[in-house]
Amino acid sequence: MGEHDGVSALSQADSKQFVDRYERKFYYLRLSITDVCNFKCTYCLPDGYHPTGRKNSSFLDQTEIKRIVNAFADCGTTKVRITGGEPTLRKDFTDIVASVADTRGIKKVAMTTNGYRMAKQVDSWKDAGLTNINVSVDSLDPKLFHQITGENKFHDVMNGIERALEIGYEQIKVNVVLLKQYNGNALPSFLHWIKSRPIQLRFIELMQTGEMDSLFQEQHQSGVSIRNHLIANGWLLKVKEANDGPAQVFIHPDYLGEIGLIMPYEKGFCETCNRLRVSATGKLHLCLFGEEGVELRDLLQQDEQEKDLIARIQGALNTKSVSHFLQEGKTGMTPHLASIGG
């Protein structure tokens, strides 16, 4: 892949790797391209999306996105996840996928989506170079899905997953946010669903964010009981490879699918952190639960600024904390995950 062989502002000799004080290497960029969303997930945007006073036009444009991705790729990034808000709400989503895929050094172009457009558009995303898909499905019961997301789109999302498998995606990752009173007992139905499908179902513990009120206290459920159930029923923890993220992945010989557990409140969760985030307006976030973010946009205006851009990112990285402080109730500046891309 790669249109910008030889035209990068950095020569090969200059190329380096983003690394922090704890020797964690960052090769994975999560890039938000919009914070607009059409769903109203109870744990994210329960009242729907409300513009924060700026127009959508102030989201990064394609040229700015390309410059960010070039800079990260020149410093060792091999995987970019395009997220939001709902990234597919951008009319130029497929062009963005194509442009990221066509960057030297980028081997994986992933997305996280609520899936409502997947059935109709996944073929064109694949053609554009999308390699990995994460789709959110918090319940396999259409009514409950509607209740959690505020949208009656369960069947559209399911058709999208089936279509993606049909056209050759080898595995689809499905995100399920664990919510005690909604899907706390749904493990058997999820297990049944993945028995014959190559789906990695990822249970994500609910994370407390700035705008969340009593929901966290009412709905947070630890992944421990799921882990115990899996282990008691013959599931085995998959050995992590060097570049794997913080999910604990379980496999079983009778199942085509896998189960992932994302437990941010568990000790050691941040040790394998390998990702950086850039918001839809061009701020670097060192942690999902960090502070305000480091402005990058002024350094996205010309190709010649790449060296300065890299220096600012590396400078910020030198201040990255060893872990988040969620256990102490410190949620950082993130009002909800739609704002910087979950």
The residue ranges of DSSP E strands in the chain, in sequence order, are 28-32, 79-83, 108-113, 132-136, 172-178, 199-205, 236-237, 248-251, 258-262, 275-278, 283-285, 294-295
Is 205 among the residues that bind ligand SF4 (CB under 6 A)?
no
Is there binding between residue 338 and ligand SF4 (CB under 6 A)?
A: yes
Figure out which of the listed residues 66, 67, 73, 85 binds ligand SF4, where binding follows CB under 6 A: 85
Single residue of 114, 248, 281, 334 touching ligand SF4 by CB under 6 A: 114
CA distances for 296 relative to 149, 183, 278, angstroms: 32, 39, 9
68 binds ligand SAM (CB under 6 A): no
The site that binds ligand SAM (CB under 6 A) totals a number of residues, namely 19
Out of ligand SF4, ligand SAM, none, which partner does residue 154 contact, by CB within 5 to 8 A per kind?
none
Minimum CB–partner distance for residue 45 and ligand SAM (Å): 9
Q: Judged by CB, which is closer to ligand SF4: 103, or 175?
A: 175
Bridge pairing between strands 172-178 and 199-205:
parallel
Q: Which of 8, 42, 70, 83 binds ligand SAM (CB under 6 A)?
A: 83
Please give the structure tokens belonging to residue 299: 């350094």
| Residue 43 marked as a ligand binder | yes
Contact pick of 20, 64, 74, 86 for ligand SF4 (by CB under 6 A):
86
130 φ/ψ sector (left φ>0, alpha ψ -120 to 50, else beta):
beta
Q: How far is the CB of 207 from ligand SAM (least distance, A)?
A: 4
Q: Does 34 interact with ligand SAM (rule: CB under 6 A)?
A: no
CB of 137 to ligand SF4, least distance (A): 11
Asked if residue 37 binds ligand SF4 (CB under 6 A), the reply is yes
Closer residue to ligand SF4 in complex, CB, 29/37: 37
Residue 141: CB partners within 8 Å, gap ≥ 6? 186, 189
- The yes or no reply on residue 113 touching ligand SAM (CB under 6 A) is yes
- Structure tokens given for 261: 């557990």
Q: Is 138 in the site for ligand SF4 (CB under 6 A)?
A: no
Collapsed DSSP state (helix, strand, coil) of residue 283: strand
Q: Compare residues 151 and 308 and give the one whose CB is closer to ligand SAM.
A: 151
Distance, CA of 279 to CA of 85 (rounded, Å): 10
**Is 136 labeled as ligand-binding?**
yes
Q: State the number of CA atoms in the 13 A half-sphere of 155 facing the CB.
A: 1
What is the smallest separation between the CB atom of 159 and ligand SAM, expressed in angstroms? 16
* Burial (CB count <10 Å: 0-12, 13-18, 19+), residue 304: exposed
DSSP string, 179-220: -HHHHTT-HHHHHHHHTTS-EEEEEEE----TT--THHHHH-
Strand pairing class (258-262; 248-251) = antiparallel
DSSP string, 44-98: T-TT-----SS-GGGS--HHHHHHHHHHHHHTT--EEEEESS-GGGSTTHHHHHH
Site residues, ligand SF4 (CB under 6 A):
37, 39, 41, 44-45, 84-86, 114, 136, 338
Residue ranges of the annotated binding site are: 30, 37, 41, 43-44, 81, 85, 112, 136, 173, 207, 270, 273, 275-277, 287
Residue ranges of the annotated binding site for GTP are: 30, 81, 112, 173, 275-277
Site residues, ligand SAM (CB under 6 A):
37, 43-44, 83-84, 86, 112-114, 136, 175, 177, 204, 206-207, 209, 337-338, 342
